[in-house]
Amino acid sequence: MSAIELSNVTLTFAGRPVLSNITLAVRDHEFVGVLGPNGSGKTTLMRAILGLVPLRTGTIRVLGRPVATGNPAVGYLPQMRGLLDTMRLSGWDFVASGINGHRWGLPLSGAAGRREVGWALEMVQAQDLARRPLAEISGGERQRLLLAQALLGRPRLLLLDEPLISLDPHHQRAVVELVRELQRELNIAVLFSAHEINPLLGALDRVLYLGGGQAALGTVDEVITGPVLSKLYGSPIDVVHLNGGIFVMAGCLHVERDAHRHAHAGRHVHV
Amino acid sequence: MRTPDAMFTYDFMQNAFAAAGIVAVVSGLVGFFLVLRAQTFAGHALSHVGFAGATGAVLVGLPPLWGLVALTLAAGIGMGFLGERLHQRDVAIGIVLAMSLGCGLLFLHFFTAYATQATALLFGNILGVDAETIWTLLGLGIVAVTALGAISRPLLFASLQPELAEAKGVSLRFVSVLFLAVVALAVAECAQIVGVLLVFALMVGPAAAAQQCTLRFWHGIALAVVLALAEAWLGLVLAFITDWPTSFWITTLSGGVYLLASLTRNLPTLRYRPRP
């Protein structure tokens, strides 16, 4: 069974097509890095897999079933927002708000819920963070709490939207390694979107590269190549291997690094 | 200067304590979520919209409380439907707020017999609350608190993690509309005690102070209610002793407690200690 199956899927964002007629399958227990320039549809694709975006054409199957919102088997880490910067609430309460958070009534987590929160925090080694206010923890620590929240309900598929954004290289590596460990230990499928391939090298099984309404899924060596990326970007792209890193260049411009800088300026990148 | 021992021999003081108690509990509970969601300005604006409703009701011969409730409720639901589009629209909210006060002024102008009504609506008239109003406040309060209880779980989730909540099947718009309807009821109640201009003191002050003192959700909720009750009742006592306006004392206490809470947060000895 595939974790995600897309057949002839077309997606639009704000009336503009972002993905056209995509067919691909992500295998069970697979770590897939999702890359592509801003606006290539990384977030829109994840939201479509969560059932939050209507499909213009085609079908999506998630873990063998037609896509639907509220699937407890799918965990999600949305892109970081500024709101949490001022939140005077403990990390524990933040994570625990995800326990049956969709049900009506009072936000009581119950004994089973508290055990589940404890388990999720332990999985990401964030027990200490749980006692501190959200407003006072670093970006990398916050991502661990968000990851713990995504693990509630023991999902079999994790969708992580730009968890490396605004982290320094050291913390980027820590987050990638943590996700890789979780993915192996829990034996789940992971979709991990990022602006740059390099932090993910060594951790991912395959790459899903989006661009120009198209998508390419394969190993790093198959996808991160001049011909494939030139087609996705719609302009000549060179791929340079240097010191174990991969650099995607358009002429003398470092494309991925540039896109990253762009995201910082925009803060709310929602595509 | 009076001594407080004779306080409860007066009917109007008994009524005032009952009304302030009901409203403080509602305000503390609703205010906690309002502060958590960073929607305090929306609450402030709703109270000003209520002023137009109250004065309009007086003009057509209805009780002002009903006009207040009707218009804040309509505005709250409207704001909830606009939802995301209203985010960061402080200018738009502020203009509606000013327009509402202007309309209220016009309605008062047409009905000059109620000149004292203006002060009562703007700054509160807790000592003038009658038994019938207490029952109305209790009824509205029960509706508001019950509704808040019913939505509090998805509301908390949606406030902290809107995208994730949406993915898990929470309708953000529905929760937002219901919450602002609850806020509208609380604002209308609150305006009875401290007036439309000072709703912030009872709705926002105690909840904001509570969030400075504790990081735990339930502790914060409980503390917000306790602070709101203490500020409202102590304000009444002080007003009785000094014969100064109750709203002055409540706003002063609210501001003082918030200031104190913000200052003590930086003292290491009083900081939150985790459960073992």
State the residue range of the domain holding A221. 2-73+155-266
The DSSP annotation for chain B comes to ---GGGGGGSHHHHHHHHHHHHHHHHHHHHHHHHHHTT-HHHHHHHHHHHHHHHHHHHHTTS-HHHHHHHHHHHHHHHHHHHGGGGTT-HHHHHHHHHHHHHHHHHHHHHTGGGHHHHHHHHH--GGG--HHHHHHHHHHHHHHHHHHHHHHHHHHHHHH-HHHHHHTT--HHHHHHHHHHHHHHHHHHHHHHH-GGGHHHHHTHHHHHHHHH--SHHHHHHHHHHHHHHHHHHHHHHHHHH-S-HHHHHHHHHHHHHHHHHHHTT-GGGS-----
Q: How many domains does chain B have?
A: 1
* Cβ separation A100–B149 shorter than 8 A: no
Q: How far is A135 from chain B (nearest CA, A)?
A: 10
**Cβ contact (<8 Å) for B164 and A150?**
yes
| Structure-model confidence comparison of residues A265 and B238, the more confident one | B238
Please check whether residues A191 and A257 belong to one and the same domain.
Answer: yes
Residue identified by tokens 């509205």 is B140
- pTM here is 0.91
Domain shared by A120 and A32, yes or no: no
Residue type, B228: A
Q: Which domain holds residue B45?
A: 19-196
Q: What is the pLDDT of residue B133?
A: 92
Same domain, A14 and A97: no
For residue B86, the model assigns a pLDDT of 64
Structure confidence at residue A222 (pLDDT): 95
Q: Report pLDDT digits (tens) over B180-205.
A: 999 999 999 999 888 988 898 999 99
- What CATH number has the domain bearing residue B36? 1.10.3470.10
Q: Rounded mean pLDDT of chain A?
A: 90
Residues of B in contact with A86 (CB under 8 A): 38
Q: Is pLDDT at B231 greater than 60 in this prediction?
A: yes
Contact call for B216 and A106, based on CB within 8 A: no
The whole-angstrom separation of Cα A31 and Cα A44 is 19
The stretch B148-164 carries a mean pLDDT of 95
Mutate to test the interface with B, among A44, A86, A97 (most CBs of B within 10 A): A97
Is the pLDDT score of B271 beyond 60? no
* A-chain residues near B172 (CB < 8 A): none
Q: How distant is the Cα of B179 from the closest Cα of chain A, in angstroms?
A: 13
One domain, residues A178 and A258 = yes
Answer whether A131 sits within 8 Å of B167, measured CB to CB: no
Beta-carbon separation of B153 and A105 below 8 A: yes
Cα A11 to Cα A55, A269, B207, distances in angstroms: 6, 17, 43
Cα dihedral across residues B39, A82, A123, B168: positive or negative: positive
| DSSP-derived secondary structure for A232-249 | HHTS--EEEEETTEEEEE
User: Who wins on pLDDT, B238 or A140?
Assistant: B238
Confidence at residue B18, expressed as pLDDT on a 0 to 100 scale:
96
CATH of the domain at A245: 3.40.50.300
Contacts of B225 (CB under 8 A, 6+ apart): B24, B25, B28, B29, B206
Residue A246 is assigned to a structural domain of this protein: yes
pLDDT tens readout for residues A20-51? 999 999 999 999 999 999 889 999 999 999 99
Which residues in chain B are contacts of A52 at CB distance < 8 A? Answer: 166-167
Final residue before a domain boundary, out of A115, A146, A177: A146
When scoring B40, B148, B160 by the number of chain A Cβ atoms within 10 A, the one with the most, hence best to mutate, is: B160
Q: Are residues A56 and A19 in the same domain?
A: yes
| Shared-domain flag, residues A139 and A159 | no
Nearest to A149 among B154, B161, B217 (CB): B161
**Per-residue tokens: B215:** 């990081």
What would you measure as the largest C-alpha separation in chain A, in angstroms?
58
Sequence-distant (6+) residues with CB within 8 A of B4 are B237, B240, B241
Considering only CB atoms, which chain B residues are within 8 Å of A150? 164
B interface with A, Cβ–Cβ below 8 Å? 36, 38, 149-154, 156-158, 160-161, 163-170, 211-212, 215-217, 220, 272, 274
The answer to whether B163 contacts A79, with C-beta atoms less than 8 Å apart, is: yes
Check residue B115 and give its pLDDT. 66
Residue B215 has pLDDT above 90, yes or no: yes
Q: If you measure CA to CA, which chain B residue comes closest to A87?
A: B36
Structure confidence at residue B274 (pLDDT) = 53
Assess whether A66 and A92 both reside in one domain.
no
Contact B215 A90 (CB under 8 A): yes
Determine the average pLDDT of the residues in A130-140. Answer: 89
Confidence of residue A270 (pLDDT cuts 50, 70, 90): very low
Alpha helix stretches (DSSP H) within chain A: 42-49, 91-96, 110-123, 139-151, 169-186, 220-223, 226-233, 255-266
Does the distance separating the beta carbons of A133 and B150 come in below 8 Å?
Answer: no
| Same-domain check for residues A6 and A127 | no
Q: Are residues A137 and A166 in the same domain?
A: no
With cut-offs at 50, 70 and 90, classify the pLDDT of residue A269.
Answer: very low
Q: Is residue B204 part of a domain?
A: no
Segment B145-170 shows an average pLDDT of 95
Q: Quick one: which of A1, A29, A48 has its CA closest to A215?
A: A48
If asked whether residues A62 and A14 sit together in one domain, one would say yes
Residue-wise pLDDT tens digits, A150-206: 999 999 999 999 999 889 999 999 999 999 999 999 999 999 999 999 999 999 999
> Is residue B244 one of the residues assigned to a domain?
no
Structural domain includes residue B258: no
The pLDDT value given to residue B4: 77
> How far apart, in whole angstroms, are the C-alpha atoms of residue B227 and residue B211?
11
Set of chain A residues whose Cβ sits within 8 Å of the Cβ of B150: 104-105
B265 in a structural domain: no
Chain A residues closer than 8 Å to B36 by CB = 87, 89
> How far B207 CA sits from the closest chain A CA (Å)?
11
Neighbours of B81 (CB within 10 A): 14
The predicted-structure confidence for A92-101, as pLDDT tens digits, reads as follows: 999 999 999 9
| Phi (first) and psi of residue B13, to 5 degrees | -75, -40
Residue B18 to residues A144, B24, B207: CA-CA distances in angstroms?
47, 10, 21
User: Between chains, do A102 and B216 touch, taking CB under 8 Å as contact?
Assistant: no
